[in-house]
Amino acid sequence: MATFGTLSDRLTETFRNLRTKGKLTPADVDGTVREIRRALLDADVALPVVKEFTAKVRERALGDEVNKALNPAQQVVQIVNEELVGILGGQQRRLQFAKTPPTVIMLAGLQGSGKTTFAGKLAKMLEKDGHTPLLVACDLQRPNAVNQLQVVAERAGAAIYAPEPGNGVGNPVKVAKDGVEFAKQKQHDIVIIDTAGRLGVDAELMKQAADIRKATDPDEVLFVIDAMIGQDAVNTAKAFQEGVDFTGVVLSKLDGDARGGAALSVASVTGRPIIFASTGEGLEDVEPFHPDRMASRILDLGDILTLIEQAQSAFDEAEAAKMAEKLATEQFTLEDFLDQMQQLKKMGSMKKMLGMLPGMGQMKQQLDDFDEREIDRTEAIIRSMTPGERRNPKVLNGSRRLRIARGSGMTVTDVNQLVQRFDQAAKMMKTVARGGMPNIPGMGPVPGGGRPGASAKRGKQSKAQKGRQGSRSGNPAKRAAENAGIAGTPSTPTGSGFGLGGGQAAPSEADLAELQKLLGKN
């Protein structure tokens, strides 16, 4: 997650320096704690939170649990991880629903914090779970706020109650109260009240929010805060807690390049849990907040659980079983490949998904260079083929490939690369489907690979042969690079996993000759 990029880098570098130590001395611990303190302060974490956090880490790091550990560096990482989970709120807290519908959820926060957009995101998320939310437009001060909520509601496919035009016209307290009654009449089981904000905390804002709370008696009051406001987050949160009080926190704009101090401060300072994190501008870009998973992301330990949940929501089990059968019977075609890409796109940004893998913080440049449009380009090429060509790519001669390139706005080289990589991927998947281990290009033979049941001759190896066995590095990126060197291939990938080159791949002489020949005929 981009928000914690700098903090994550600083902490990872600090722990890397510990790995060379066989045993940690008090001086080592003090040095580590000092670096952690600097990293947190640079990330705009509130000073009281930093003091308490580092004191706990130091106390535990000097205790017996580290001294007796086989790997002190790993033990310190574990301590920091556990303490991070603590200041982020400990356990995940879900929305509390009313015993008798409708459940009333009131949103509060400063102007520009993302309340209106979050209202739409929350409505869409709740609709997926079978609820029937109603959005109530109570921000009657900000210009066009009511119109904005109407647009958001339409995009989310949610109902809206907006009897007043806004722009300074109407009584927000009456609208909120009437909105709850309207929801009861129309049998909406959830009411989401979007309230007004101000550029700063003032008495008028607090009075209006407090009056709406009193009139509607909400089951949840969610304080929406911009993750990019840094140290001000704590003061703003305290002011809202005293003036209105809230039951939970929503962190918005976590996809920005902020330093993330708000996330690490608000829950600890207010004692209120973070319930949701908004991670992008799309209505799907919101997720329940898990303190343990967020701590793992910050420490570059990955977030596999969230990745699995996203995959489960995007992929159909029946379709997956059908696809597995096709792989096993060697019937996987480019049409199936296109279907798989469609499901992959439902999961959201590829960069975000890749960023959830452990250790990806060390491959930041590769992630930054990844072009999300590669999937769209590959899709364009496949859609330019006829159904017969998708089912049997072997019929793709030169003239067909030229037609496909023109139809998709790509080059013949791009089409060639897609077909070539699809063939390689299909062979690998067939091997896996049969229970074997594939030979991955650029990495040499995979240990235990080859045909299932085939016996390997094991004789004495020379030193040169042993040197060519492959890397045993625990770092996947380093292992791939070293194995690529052993196999005599460049360690830098020459194309993307979706069949296209890096965007600037030069066509071969054979391609150019073929293209000229074909153009000459037209």
* 115 is an annotated ligand-binding site residue: yes
- What's the CA gap between 229 and 179, in Å, rounded? 32
Mean pLDDT, residues 177-185: 94
Higher-confidence residue: 425 or 49? 49
Q: What is the mean pLDDT of residues 383-408?
A: 90
390 is in an annotated binding site: no
356 vs 221, residue with greater confidence: 221
Q: What is the pLDDT of residue 445?
A: 44
Peptide bond into 102 cis (omega under 30): yes
Q: What is the DSSP string of 33-47?
A: HHHHHHHHHHTT--H
CA distances to 5, 8, 91, 291 from 87, in Å = 19, 16, 10, 8
pLDDT band with cut points at 50, 70 and 90 for residue 194: very high
pLDDT at 339: 75
383 is in an annotated binding site: no
CATH architecture of 103-297: 3-Layer(aba) Sandwich (3.40)
Q: Which residue has the higher pLDDT, 298 or 236?
A: 236
Predicted local confidence at residue 493, as pLDDT:
40
Instruction: Give me the mean pLDDT over the 376-390 stretch.
Output: 88
- Check whether 497 has a pLDDT greater than 70: no
Cα–Cα distance, 246 to 146 (Å, whole number): 23
Report whether 113 belongs to an annotated binding site.
yes
Residue 57, pLDDT above cutoff 50 = yes
State yes or no: 253 annotated in a binding site.
yes
Asked if the model's pLDDT at residue 450 lies above 60, the reply is: no
- Distance, CA of 361 to CA of 401 (rounded, Å): 39
Q: In this predicted structure, what is the pLDDT of residue 263? A: 64
279 in a labelled binding site: no
Lookup: tokens for 64: 């017996």
Which CATH superfamily, name and number, covers 2-87? Answer: SRP54, nucleotide-binding domain (1.20.120.140)
Residue 41 sits at the vertex; the CA angle it makes with 247 and 222, to the nearest 5 degrees, is 15
Task: Identify which has the larger pLDDT, 170 or 443.
Answer: 170
**Residue at token pair 């060197």:** 485
CA–CA separation, 495 vs 183, rounded Å? 54
Residue 234 has what pLDDT? 79
The pLDDT of residue 12 is above 90? no
Which CATH superfamily does the domain covering 302-441+511-522 fall into? Signal recognition particle, SRP54 subunit, M-domain (1.10.260.30)
- Euclidean distance between CA atoms 126 and 124, whole angstroms: 5
The model's confidence at residue 84, banded by pLDDT at 50, 70 and 90, is confident
User: What integer pLDDT is reported at residue 441 of this predicted model?
Assistant: 42
* Confidence grade of residue 278 (pLDDT, cut at 50, 70, 90): confident
Q: Is the pLDDT of residue 187 over 90?
A: yes
Whole-number pLDDT of residue 260:
61
522 half-sphere exposure, CB direction, 13 A CA radius: 9
| pLDDT higher at 47 or 306 | 47
More confident residue, 184 or 228: 184
Write down the mean pLDDT value for the chain.
75
Q: Is 112 labeled as ligand-binding?
A: yes
> The pTM is what?
0.59
DSSP string, 153-181: HHHHT-EEE--S-BTTBS-HHHHHHHHHH
Residue 498: pLDDT band (50, 70, 90) is very low
Mean pLDDT of 378-389: 89
116 has binding-site annotation:
yes
More confident: 453 or 56: 56
255 annotated as belonging to a binding site for a ligand: yes
Q: What is the pLDDT of residue 161?
A: 95
Q: Rounded to an integer, what distance in angstroms lies between the CA atom of residue 324 and that of residue 322?
A: 5
Question: E strand or H helix at 18, and its extent?
Answer: helix 5-18
pLDDT at 69: 57
pLDDT exceeds cutoff 60 at 262 = yes
Lowest mean pLDDT among 126-135, 247-256, 391-400, 472-481: 472-481
Per-residue pLDDT at 136 exceeds 90: yes
**Above pLDDT 70, what percent of the chain?**
64
Q: Is 254 annotated as a binding residue?
A: yes
Range of weakest confidence among 317-321, 343-347, 484-488: 484-488
Give the pLDDT score at 329. Answer: 56
The answer on whether 448 is annotated among ligand-binding residues is no
Q: Residue 284 corresponds to which tokens in the numbers above? A: 């799907």
Structural domain spans, the chain: 2-87, 103-297, 302-441+511-522
Q: How far apart are CA 160 and CA 482, in angstroms?
A: 58
| C-alpha closest to that of 9 among 300, 265, 236 | 300
Indicate the pLDDT class of residue 155, thresholds 50, 70 and 90. very high
Q: What is the pLDDT of residue 303?
A: 45
CA-based end-to-end distance of the chain: 51
Helical H runs in 291-411? 291-298, 304-314, 317-328, 334-346, 350-355, 364-369, 374-383, 387-391, 398-408
Q: Is 111 marked within a binding site?
A: yes
CA dist., res. 157 & res. 263, Å (int)? 30
Residue 109 is labelled as binding a ligand:
yes
